[in-house]
């Protein structure tokens, strides 16, 4: 067991776990922030996307030992009230169906908007293509990102 200290959603936490434990399970099961989802465990689907030091990463691929002193943000911490322009646009465009992938989609999209204020359609698709939505909400995700970019 290793003790690791890092910041999650603005709070400093100390977690005891195996050094090779994926950050995903630390977030979900140890810290009980279940908005981040397990989909594939192999960086194929993007359901587990969180921000580490502001960068969107697949938390299933990050090990405990890599997280000491880092700043992790999950969907629960994206904003205090869940009112990020993307979250508001997601509701207006009625994006989610089953909803399981949507935390990852929003975290991935948030990185895009942080870098690129008004992304083109092609930039959106290129940035989002690693995130699978099995319900096929892609057309609405695109619309919601465009709306958020406009209204942010």
Partner 1 sequence: MTRHDLKLSRRGFVKGSAGLTFSFAISGFLGARPEALAQSGGLAQTISGWVTIGTDNSILIAAPVAEMGQGVFTTIPMIVAEELDADWSKVRTYFPPPVPGLFGNPRFGGILHVVASMATTGYWDKVRMHGAQARRVLMQAAADKWNVPLTELTTEPSVVVHAPSGRKLSYGEIAKFAVVPKEMPKISEADLKKPSDFRIVGKSVARLDIPDKTNGSTIYGIDVQVPGMVYATMLRSPVEGGAPEIVDDSETKKIPGVTQTVKLRDAVAIVGSTVEAVFAGREVLKVTWKGGATAGFNSEKALPEYAKRARTLEEKGLSYKQAGDADAAFAKAAKVISSEFMTDYVHHAQMEPMNVTVSVNEAGDAAEIWMGSQAVTVSIGAVAGLLKTKPDRIRFNQHFLGGGFGRRAYPDLPVYGAAISREVKKPVKLIWTREQDVKAAWMRPQTAHFLQAALDDKGAVIGWRHRVVGEATTGYSQPARLEQAKGLDPLTLEGAEHLYEIDNLSVEYLREIRGTALAAWRAIGSGFNKFAIESFVDEIAREQGVDPVELRLRMLQKHPRGRTIIETVAEMSNWKAKPAEGRALGFAYADVWNTPVAGAAEISLDRKSGRVHVHRFWTAVNPGIVVNPDVVVAQCESNVIYGLGQALRERNTFVDGAIAQSNFNDYEVMRMSDVPEISVKVISTPDRPTGIGEIVLPVVAPAVASAIFALTGKRMRHLPFTDERVRAALS
**Does the protein bind partner 1 through residue 57 (CB under 8 A)?**
no
Q: Binding mask 110-139 vs partner 1 (x if CB under 8 A, - otherwise)?
A: --------------xxx-xxxxxxxxxxxx
Partner residues linked to 4 by β-bridges: 15
66 is a site residue for partner 1 (CB under 8 A):
no
> 3-state DSSP: the chain helix, strand, coil percent, rounded to 5?
40, 20, 40
CA gyration radius for the chain?
A: 15
- Determine if 95 is a binding residue for partner 1 (CB under 8 A): yes
Q: Which of residues 17-56 bind partner 1 (CB under 8 A)?
A: 17-18, 20-22, 25, 28-30, 32-42, 44-45, 47
Both structure tokens of 89 = 């646009």
Q: Least distance to partner 1 from the beta carbon of 149, Å?
A: 16
Distance CA 38, CA 140 (A): 22
């Amino acid at each position: 067991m290793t003790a690791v200290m890092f910041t999650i959603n603005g709070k400093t936490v100390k977690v005891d776990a195996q050094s090779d434990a994926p950050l995903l399970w630390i977030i979900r099961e140890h810290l009980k922030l279940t908005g981040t989802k397990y989909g594939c465990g192999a960086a194929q689907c993007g359901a587990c996307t969180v921000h580490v030091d502001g960068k969107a990463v697949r938390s299933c691929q990050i090990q405990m030992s890599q997280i000491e002193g880092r700043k992790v943000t999950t969907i629960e911490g994206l904003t205090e009230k869940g009112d990020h322009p993307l979250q508001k646009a997601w509701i207006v465009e009625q994006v989610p169906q089953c909803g399981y992938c949507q935390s990852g989609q929003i975290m991935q999209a948030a990185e895009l908007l942080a870098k690129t204020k008004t992304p083109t359609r092609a930039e959106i698709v290129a940035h989002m293509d690693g995130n699978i939505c099995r319900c096929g909400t892609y057309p609405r995700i695109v619309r919601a990102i465009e709306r958020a970019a406009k209204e942010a």
